[in-house]
Amino acid sequence: MAIILFPSVFAKSYPSECAMFFLATVTPFYAFEQSDTVGRFIVLILAVLSTLSWTLFVDRFLYLKGLKMQVTSFLEFYEMVSGPGDVFSQLKNHHGPLVAVTNAGLTAIAELHQLPPTDLAAQIRRTGIPEGMSTADIDRIDSAMEKQLDLEILEMERHLSTIGTVVSVSPFLGLLGTVWGVMMAFCGMAAKGQPDINSLAPGVSGALLTTVVALLVAIPSVWSYNYLSNKIRHISVEMEGYSAEFLSRVRVASQLDN
C-alpha cells in the first residue's frame, strides 16, 4: 500500500527501469502525492461528488424500475376492464402512481356529488359513473388528475437536479484545481530563479490530476442524468396518455355531449 500511495519514494529507493515503469503505471497516485493541500482537497471533494452521484443514480434507478413495473401492471389491468366503474372498484388491488392519479379523479367526482369517495365508489360499482356531468365538472376532474400527475412526475424527478449539479460543478472544480496547481508550480520555479523542468513537472502533474478526476466524475454523471431523464420521460408519457384516455372514458360514461 505504501508503494502505491508514495511511488516516488519507491522510485528513489530503487532507481531501476522496473521501478520507473511501476511509477508510470501509478501516475494518478504519483500526481496526488505531488499535489498541494488545495489540489488534494479538490480531489477529495470530487470523490465525494462522485459517490453522491452514483448513490443517487442507483436509488433513482431502482425506484424507477419498480415504478415502471407498477405502471405497466396497472395499464394491463386497465385494458382488460370495461369502463371507469370497474377501475374505481378495483383500485385497492393495485399500487403505484396511476392509482394515485385515478384516486384524484374519484375524489373530484365525489366532491362534485357531495359524497365520500368510498360511498361514491360503492355507488359506481352498482350503477356506474354518475350521468349528466357538465363540461365544467369534467374540467374539474381533469384539473385534479393533472395536479396529482404533476406531483407524481416531481417525485420521479427527485434528486435528478442534484446529479445535474454534479455534472455542472465538477469540470469547474477540476479547472480551478488545475489553474491553481499550475500557478503554484510556476511560482515555485520562479522562486528558484531558474527554469527547471524537473521541478516544474511534478507540480504540473499534480495540477492536471484535478481535471482528470473531474472528467471521471462528470462523464458518468452526464450519462446517468440522461439515462434517468429518458426513463422518466417514457413513464410520464404513459401516465399522461392514461390520464387523457381515462378522462375520455369518464366523459363518455357520464353521457356528456361535446
Closest CA to 40 of 169, 166, 164, 173: 173
Domain residues for the domain of 127 are 84-158+237-253
Nine-digit cell string for 38: 488545495
The answer to whether residue 243 is domain-embedded is yes
The pLDDT value recorded for residue 229 is 95
pLDDT tens-digit profile of 52-88? 999 999 999 999 999 999 999 988 888 887 777 677 7
pLDDT tens-digit profile of 133-162? 777 878 888 899 999 999 999 999 999 999
Can you tell me the distance from the alpha carbon of 8 to that of 4, in angstroms, rounded to the nearest whole number? 9
**If you average pLDDT over every residue of the chain, what do you get?**
78
The answer to whether residue 146 is domain-embedded is yes
The answer to whether residue 11 is domain-embedded is no
Q: What is the pTM of this model?
A: 0.76
The answer to whether residue 115 is domain-embedded is yes
The answer to whether residue 151 is domain-embedded is yes
Contact in structure between 33 and 11 (CB atoms under 8 Å): no
How many residues does the structure list for the chain? 258
How many domains does one find in the chain?
1
Which runs of consecutive H residues, i.e. helices, occur in 157-258? 160-192, 197-253
Out of 45-49, 141-145, 252-256, least confident range: 252-256
Nine-digit cell string for 174: 477540476
